[in-house]
Protein backbone atom coordinates (compact mmCIF):
# COMPACT_ATOMS: atom_id res chain seq x y z
CA UNK A 1 0.00 0.00 0.00
CA UNK A 2 1.21 3.50 -0.87
CA UNK A 3 0.52 6.75 0.97
CA UNK A 4 0.67 10.31 -0.28
CA UNK A 5 0.11 13.40 1.90
CA UNK A 6 -0.36 17.03 1.00
CA UNK A 7 -1.62 20.04 2.97
CA UNK A 8 -4.00 22.75 1.82
CA UNK A 9 -4.04 26.17 3.48
CA UNK A 10 -7.05 28.45 3.80
CA UNK A 11 -7.17 32.05 4.98
CA UNK A 12 -10.77 33.12 4.55
CA UNK A 13 -11.89 36.68 3.97
CA UNK A 14 -14.93 36.23 6.23
CA UNK A 15 -15.47 34.89 9.72
CA UNK A 16 -17.60 32.06 8.27
CA UNK A 17 -17.18 30.59 4.78
CA UNK A 18 -17.89 27.41 2.84
CA UNK A 19 -15.27 26.51 0.22
CA UNK A 20 -15.66 23.81 -2.41
CA UNK A 21 -12.28 22.08 -2.40
CA UNK A 22 -13.15 19.13 -4.67
CA UNK A 23 -10.88 20.20 -7.53
CA UNK A 24 -7.91 20.59 -5.17
CA UNK A 25 -8.52 17.11 -3.71
CA UNK A 26 -8.79 15.68 -7.24
CA UNK A 27 -5.48 17.36 -8.16
CA UNK A 28 -3.81 15.76 -5.12
CA UNK A 29 -5.29 12.36 -5.97
CA UNK A 30 -3.93 12.58 -9.52
CA UNK A 31 -0.49 13.64 -8.24
CA UNK A 32 -0.45 10.66 -5.83
CA UNK A 33 -0.67 8.10 -8.65
CA UNK A 34 -2.98 5.95 -6.53
CA UNK A 35 -5.71 4.19 -8.54
CA UNK A 36 -7.60 2.20 -5.88
CA UNK A 37 -7.99 3.04 -2.21
CA UNK A 38 -9.30 5.94 -0.19
CA UNK A 39 -8.62 9.57 0.51
CA UNK A 40 -8.87 11.25 3.91
CA UNK A 41 -9.56 14.99 4.03
CA UNK A 42 -9.35 16.46 7.53
CA UNK A 43 -9.44 19.98 8.96
CA UNK A 44 -6.58 20.44 11.40
CA UNK A 45 -8.34 23.12 13.42
CA UNK A 46 -11.09 22.87 16.04
CA UNK A 47 -13.26 25.62 14.58
CA UNK A 48 -13.44 24.25 11.02
CA UNK A 49 -15.07 21.26 9.34
CA UNK A 50 -14.87 19.13 6.21
CA UNK A 51 -18.02 17.63 4.77
CA UNK A 52 -19.48 16.07 1.62
CA UNK A 53 -22.70 17.39 0.11
CA UNK A 54 -24.26 19.10 -2.90
CA UNK A 55 -22.63 22.21 -4.38
CA UNK A 56 -25.86 24.19 -4.42
CA UNK A 57 -25.93 27.72 -2.98
CA UNK A 58 -29.42 27.40 -1.47
CA UNK A 59 -28.37 24.27 0.41
CA UNK A 60 -25.22 25.99 1.68
CA UNK A 61 -27.37 28.85 2.99
CA UNK A 62 -29.74 26.31 4.61
CA UNK A 63 -26.79 24.56 6.29
CA UNK A 64 -25.50 27.90 7.57
CA UNK A 65 -28.93 28.83 8.97
CA UNK A 66 -29.35 25.36 10.54
CA UNK A 67 -25.96 25.66 12.25
CA UNK A 68 -26.90 29.10 13.61
CA UNK A 69 -30.08 27.63 15.08
CA UNK A 70 -28.25 24.72 16.73
CA UNK A 71 -25.15 26.65 17.83
CA UNK A 72 -25.93 30.37 17.82
CA UNK A 73 -23.39 32.99 18.79
CA UNK A 74 -23.98 34.09 22.37
CA UNK A 75 -21.80 35.89 24.87
CA UNK A 76 -22.30 33.51 27.80
CA UNK A 77 -20.56 30.35 26.57
CA UNK A 78 -18.31 29.07 29.37
CA UNK A 79 -15.51 28.82 26.78
CA UNK A 80 -15.54 32.62 26.58
CA UNK A 81 -14.23 32.80 30.15
CA UNK A 82 -10.85 31.82 28.65
CA UNK A 83 -10.79 35.11 26.72
CA UNK A 84 -12.02 33.56 23.47
CA UNK A 85 -15.28 34.56 21.79
CA UNK A 86 -15.70 31.59 19.45
CA UNK A 87 -17.68 29.07 21.49
CA UNK A 88 -20.26 28.76 18.73
CA UNK A 89 -17.51 28.05 16.18
CA UNK A 90 -16.36 25.01 18.18
CA UNK A 91 -19.92 23.70 18.39
CA UNK A 92 -20.56 24.21 14.66
CA UNK A 93 -17.38 22.24 13.93
CA UNK A 94 -18.61 19.37 16.09
CA UNK A 95 -21.95 19.31 14.27
CA UNK A 96 -20.34 19.16 10.81
CA UNK A 97 -17.34 17.01 11.85
CA UNK A 98 -13.73 17.60 10.94
CA UNK A 99 -13.06 14.93 8.30
CA UNK A 100 -14.35 12.77 5.48
CA UNK A 101 -13.10 9.60 3.82
CA UNK A 102 -13.92 9.16 0.13
CA UNK A 103 -13.36 5.94 -1.86
CA UNK A 104 -10.98 6.04 -4.81
CA UNK A 105 -11.83 3.84 -7.80
CA UNK A 106 -10.03 3.91 -11.15
CA UNK A 107 -8.00 6.94 -9.97
CA UNK A 108 -11.21 8.96 -9.41
CA UNK A 109 -13.10 10.10 -6.32
CA UNK A 110 -15.95 7.57 -6.18
CA UNK A 111 -18.80 9.96 -5.38
CA UNK A 112 -22.53 9.63 -5.62
CA UNK A 113 -24.42 12.10 -7.79
CA UNK A 114 -23.81 15.77 -6.91
CA UNK A 115 -21.36 15.05 -4.08
CA UNK A 116 -18.54 17.55 -3.51
CA UNK A 117 -16.00 18.08 -0.72
CA UNK A 118 -16.31 21.30 1.27
CA UNK A 119 -14.16 23.10 3.82
CA UNK A 120 -16.32 24.98 6.33
CA UNK A 121 -14.70 27.79 8.27
CA UNK A 122 -16.44 29.01 11.43
CA UNK A 123 -13.73 31.27 12.93
CA UNK A 124 -11.88 32.61 9.95
CA UNK A 125 -9.66 35.38 8.73
CA UNK A 126 -6.53 33.57 9.78
CA UNK A 127 -4.41 30.83 8.20
CA UNK A 128 -5.67 27.26 8.70
CA UNK A 129 -4.63 23.89 7.36
CA UNK A 130 -6.31 20.78 5.92
CA UNK A 131 -4.53 17.45 5.49
CA UNK A 132 -5.26 15.33 2.42
CA UNK A 133 -3.93 11.77 2.73
CA UNK A 134 -4.33 9.32 -0.16
CA UNK A 135 -3.96 5.62 0.69
CA UNK A 136 -4.02 2.67 -1.69
CA UNK A 137 -2.36 1.10 -4.70
Evaluate whether 115 touches 54 at the Cβ level (below 8 Å): yes
Helices 87-96, 57-70: axis angle to 10 degrees equals 120
Distance (Å, whole) CA 51 – CA 100: 6
pLDDT of amino acid 135: 98
Q: So what's the pLDDT on residue 66? A: 98
DSSP string, 44-91: -STTEEEEEEE--HHHHHHHHHHHHHHS---TT-GGGGGT---HHHHH
Domain of residue 22, CATH code: 2.60.120.460
Confidence band (pLDDT; 50, 70, 90) for 14?
Answer: very high
pLDDT of the residue at 107? 98
The confidence band for 48, taking pLDDT boundaries of 50, 70 and 90, is very high
Give the percent of the chain with pLDDT over 70. 100
Q: pLDDT value at position 7?
A: 98
Q: What is the structure's pLDDT at 103? A: 98
Instruction: Give per-residue pLDDT as tens, 64-97.
Output: 999 999 999 999 999 999 999 999 999 999 999 9
Domain count, the chain: 1
- Residue from 101, 114, 104 nearest 34 by CA: 104
Work out the angle at residue 49's Cα, subtended by the Cα atoms of residues 11 and 42, and round it to the nearest 5 degrees: 90
pLDDT bracket for residue 9 (50, 70, 90): very high
Q: Given phi > 0 = left and psi -120 to 50 = alpha, else beta, which region is 62?
A: alpha
Tell me the CA distances in angstroms from 42 to 5, 21, 50, 62, 81, one per residue in order.
11, 12, 6, 23, 28
- Are 8 and 130 in contact by the 8 Å Cβ rule? The answer is yes
Q: Which domain holds residue 66?
A: 2-136
pLDDT per position as a tens digit, 102-136: 999 999 999 999 999 999 999 999 999 999 999 99
Give the integer Cα–Cα distance in Å for 120 and 59: 13
Amino acid sequence: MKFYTEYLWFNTKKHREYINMTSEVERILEKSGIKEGMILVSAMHITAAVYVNDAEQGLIEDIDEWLDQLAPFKSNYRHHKTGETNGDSHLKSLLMHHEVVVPVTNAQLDFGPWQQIYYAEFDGQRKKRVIVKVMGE
